[in-house]
Amino acid sequence: MKRWPSTISTRWRRGNRCTLFRGDCSELLGKLPPNSVDLVLTSPPYCIGKAYENKTQASDFETDHEAIIPEIIRAVRVGGSVCWQVGYHVTNGVVTPLDFIVYEIMSRFPEMRLRNRIMWTFGHGLHAAERFSGRHETLLWFTKGERYEFNLDDVRVAQKYPGKKHYKGEKKGAYSGNPLGKNPSDVWQGCDVWDIPNVKAKHVEKTDHPCQFPVGFALRAIKALTKPDDLVLDPFVGSGTTAVAAILARRRFVGAEILAKFHKIAIVRAEAAARGHIRFRPAELPVYVPPKNTTLTVRPRTWNESKKS
Ligand SMILES: C[S@@+](CC[C@H](N)C(=O)[O-])C[C@H]1O[C@@H](n2cnc3c(N)ncnc32)[C@H](O)[C@@H]1O
């Protein structure tokens, strides 16, 4: 892979290729000129008491977002995009979809238009006992204004049945699919063939950060919504996944991370990406299907005596 042209900076300057600011994102946002960012892609703290959070209420999430969203909208150019990835807040078994809160605040700004509410589904996570186990989160994609960038051909995925043909009409007998692949849809498990699994213990991208999103996930948004050399912003950098994806896609990047230990991880990953040494799972990798009749896939004999599981 080709070496990226410049190093990682920790102080924001307009000409930087990649800035990983260590500190509060509101300080970074204050330095960014208005209308300077092409895409914001982030996953904010959910205020669910994670190790990096001191807030635990959905109302904290709302208050924080009321402060940051106007700053984000100011920084994004007209025609740019804002992608906000969130899950659920759960208190005493009561679930609040955090994207409802984001949508409500974003809707106060008439220039912001929701283009997709993407379901990101995955196969692994905590097992709930008193409700169905959570296996999806959402990505809200807004544009600032009416016209926007959308490079569908850069993110198409292979069809399940590429040999399918029209069976009637003028095109009867001709292949019905697009040779470049199909639209990945607003459900990002991709489709039945491709998968974007969440970053759990054995994932090649796993770092010490507790809530990474995968590089393949960020790459899809960046490739679809920006051009090479455009500026991508992630105000909540975490382990630096958005920076890595931006570098791989040859976009410029700016982001902030408040905690030193995650900021260090982000720098190491961004440098590895710039050198072409980063390990990541492309979204186009086929889903692993375990072979039949292994100890992993066969129902344990002792279970046959118990009720259906
Ligand atoms: C959900 S994580 C982001 C994970 C990231 N998408 C990744 O793939 O690694 C949110 C991150 O925001 C950081 N953070 C929280 N408040 C912040 C603030 N005010 N400014 C900058 N970073 C903040 C947290 O330390 C945490 O690492």
- pLDDT, mean of residues 53-65: 91
Report the nearest atom of ligand 1 relative to the CA of 46.
1
Cβ–Cβ < 8 Å for 33, 227: no
Sketch out the chain's domains with CATH numbers. 8-305 (3.40.50.150)
Structure tokens at 219: 């790459």
Exposure class string for 116-134: b at 16+ Cβ within 10 A, else e: eebebebeeeeeeeeeeee
Structure tokens at 18: 């990649």
User: Parallel, antiparallel, or unpaired: how do β-strands 18-22 and 8-9 relate?
Assistant: parallel
Distance between CA 100 and CA 232 in Å, rounded?
Answer: 24
Expressed in angstroms and rounded, the spacing between residue 211 Cα and the centre of ligand 1 is: 9
User: Which contiguous run of DSSP H or E holds residue 113?
Assistant: strand 112-121
Task: Identify the residue whose C-alpha is closest to ligand 1 atom 27.
Answer: 238
pLDDT at residue 191 is higher than 50? no
Query: How far does CA 206 lie from the centroid of its chain?
Result: 15
Expressed in angstroms and rounded, the spacing between residue 257 Cα and the centre of ligand 1 is: 6
Distance between CA 144 and CA 225 in Å, rounded?
Answer: 12
Expressed in angstroms and rounded, the spacing between residue 44 Cα and the centre of ligand 1 is: 6
What's residue 159's pLDDT?
Answer: 86
- pLDDT per residue as tens digits for the range 244-292: 999 999 999 999 999 999 999 999 999 999 999 888 888 777 667 778 8
Q: Provide the residue type at 307 as one letter.
A: K
Report the nearest atom of ligand 1 relative to the CA of 238.
27
Residue that is written with structure tokens 């809707």 in the block: 107
Distance between CA 82 and CA 225 in Å, rounded?
Answer: 10
Q: Is 217 in the pocket of ligand 1 (CB under 6 A)?
A: no
**Which DSSP string corresponds to 78-134?**
EEEEEEEEE-EEEETTEEEEHHHHHHHHHTTSTTEEEEEEEEEE-S-SPPPSSSPPP
| 136, 64, 81, 266 alpha-carbon torsion, rounded to 10° | -70
Expressed in angstroms and rounded, the spacing between residue 237 Cα and the centre of ligand 1 is: 5
Q: Is 86 in the pocket of ligand 1 (CB under 6 A)?
A: no
Q: Is 212 in the pocket of ligand 1 (CB under 6 A)?
A: yes
Distance between CA 206 and CA 204 in Å, rounded?
Answer: 6
Task: Identify the residue whose C-alpha is closest to ligand 1 atom 2.
Answer: 238
Number of residues that this document lists for the chain = 309
Structure tokens at 189: 């498990």
- pLDDT per residue as tens digits for the range 72-90: 999 999 999 999 999 999 9
- pLDDT per residue as tens digits for the range 266-277: 999 999 999 998
pLDDT at residue 143 is higher than 80? yes
Q: Is 60 in the pocket of ligand 1 (CB under 6 A)?
A: no
Number of Cβ atoms within 10 Å of the Cβ of 271: 20
Question: Which of 213, 236, 267 is the pocket-test mutation for ligand 1 (most atoms within 8 Å of CB)?
Answer: 236
φ and ψ at residue 301, rounded to 5 degrees: -55, -40
Cβ–Cβ < 8 Å for 68, 29: yes
Separation in Å, CA 61 to CA 26, 102, 154, 259, 269: 15, 9, 34, 18, 28
Structure tokens at 204: 């090649």
Least confident of 56-65, 69-78, 203-212, 258-267: 203-212
Closest CA to 245 of 281, 209, 204, 197: 281
**Which DSSP string corresponds to 151-186?**
-GGGG-B--S-TT-B--SSTTTTSB-S-TT-B---S
Expressed in angstroms and rounded, the spacing between residue 260 Cα and the centre of ligand 1 is: 11
What's residue 279's pLDDT?
Answer: 86
Q: What is the pTM of this model?
A: 0.91
Residue that is written with structure tokens 């186990």 in the block: 133
